[in-house]
Amino acid sequence: MHNGGAVGDTLRMRHPPPGQSDQQRSAEARRARATTDRVEAFSDGVIAVAITLLVLTLTVPDPAKGDLTHALLNNWPEYAAYLVSFATIGIVWVNHHAVFGLIERVDRWLLFLNLTLLLTITLVPYTTNLVARTLVAGSGTAVAAVVYNGTFVVMGAAFQGVFRYAVGRPGLRAAHVPEDAIRGATLRFALGAFVYPVAMVVAFFNAAAALALDGAVAAYYALMAVEAM
């Protein structure tokens, strides 16, 4: 209930009452910043748990059942899926931080859109384990890869929803953010929305190739983040 009040305050702040003093406006701006900070902190916590759970998708071979080196090498799909998923969640976290740097207020709809994004992120450890185990076993790879990439498709759509609503909703975007920055971010974030569905189709025919495409998307966004620094 307390958070609902905070969001309500934020909504009211869009149209300051006439004659409001600079001190009052400054106090309300601080409350708005505190609200966005709370959303970011909650999101950071959920993302941190999801990215940590990825390590549980790695299987420890039993040395009593044969050559340990062979067993470790045979589990290469687990390592590949782990790295791709870790990089993907990490990039989502970086871009999520960038989006919230463009806004100064949140409303209830943005909170629900953000929760939807977090829901998709928490599914990644499960789908990572699914695709890794089927690749190791050599059975059911197409279905698992489609489910894995389907999660990325939905996650990309959810991220687009957060981004487009945050920068397009009147009263949420920070006043100092230029239109050029919004257009540039729109183009950068659109890549995943295009490639992930392609990778999902590729997964029907070659699960490893689809995983490689996912890794390429993560690598692209990582390079973009480094260049932005």
> Measured over all CA atoms, what is the biggest interatomic distance in the chain, rounded to whole angstroms?
79
Domain coverage including residue 167: 2-228
List pLDDT tens digits, range 150-172.
999 999 999 999 999 998 888 88
Q: What is the pLDDT of residue 206?
A: 94
**46 and 176 Cβ atoms separated by less than 8 Å:** no
Q: What is the dihedral of CA 147, 210, 55, 66, to 10 degrees?
A: 100
CA distance 78 to 80: 5
Q: What is the pLDDT of residue 33?
A: 56
Q: What is the pLDDT of residue 196?
A: 92
Burial class (CB in 10 A: 0-12, 13-18, 19+), 123: middle
Question: In which band, very low, low, confident or very high, does the pLDDT at 16 lie, cut at 50, 70 and 90?
Answer: very low
List pLDDT tens digits, range 180-228.
878 878 888 887 788 999 999 999 999 999 999 999 999 988 887 776 6
Tally of domains in the chain: 1
pLDDT averaged over every residue in the chain: 84
Angle at which helix 108-137 crosses helix 22-53, to 10 degrees, equals 10
Question: In which band, very low, low, confident or very high, does the pLDDT at 53 lie, cut at 50, 70 and 90?
Answer: very high
Angle at which helix 141-168 crosses helix 207-228, to 10 degrees, equals 30
